[in-house]
Amino acid sequence: MSMREEIQAELAEAFDDPDGLAEAVKPVTGVRKVAGEYDPDLGGETPETTVTYSGRGVLGGYLSKEIDGSLIQTTDKKLLVLQNELFVSEAGVPTAIPAAPAIGDIVNGLRVMNVSADPADATWTAQLRK
């Protein structure tokens, strides 16, 4: 088992554990609007599309020492999501297509300001703002 798989298995277990993070774990739904591209056959742009993804994660705040009032504001939220549990959804049903949050997405009604992955690529950490 690779380090990534081991981390994801341990976190998934903690997400499910009633004595662990189970109470803090919430459903996560993200929406990304993708602008249309020029299509020479149509002689114009294709319509805008919307990509929806879902999974589960832990939403928390930032430590006071992390808040600088500019890049990270007091009302910003920090979202931790397992990479192997975030999938593109079609008609509200998750597919097998993995998803990754991106800057500008709307996740649970909040805008994604920054996204990073841990060194093992096991989790996504997203900075969310109203």
pLDDT at 58: 93
pLDDT mean across residues, the chain? 91
pLDDT band at 4 (very low <50, low <70, confident <90, very high): confident
Question: Which pLDDT value is given to residue 43?
Answer: 83
Q: Domain containing 56: what range?
A: 3-129
Cβ(77)–Cβ(61) below 8 Å: yes
d(CA 26, CA 57): 6
CATH number at residue 44: 2.40.10
pLDDT at residue 105 is higher than 90: yes
The count of domains in the chain is 1
pLDDT in tens, 5-34: 888 888 888 888 887 777 889 999 999 999
Give the distance, in angstroms, between the CA of residue 124 and the centroid of all CA atoms in the same chain: 6
pTM for this predicted structure? 0.84
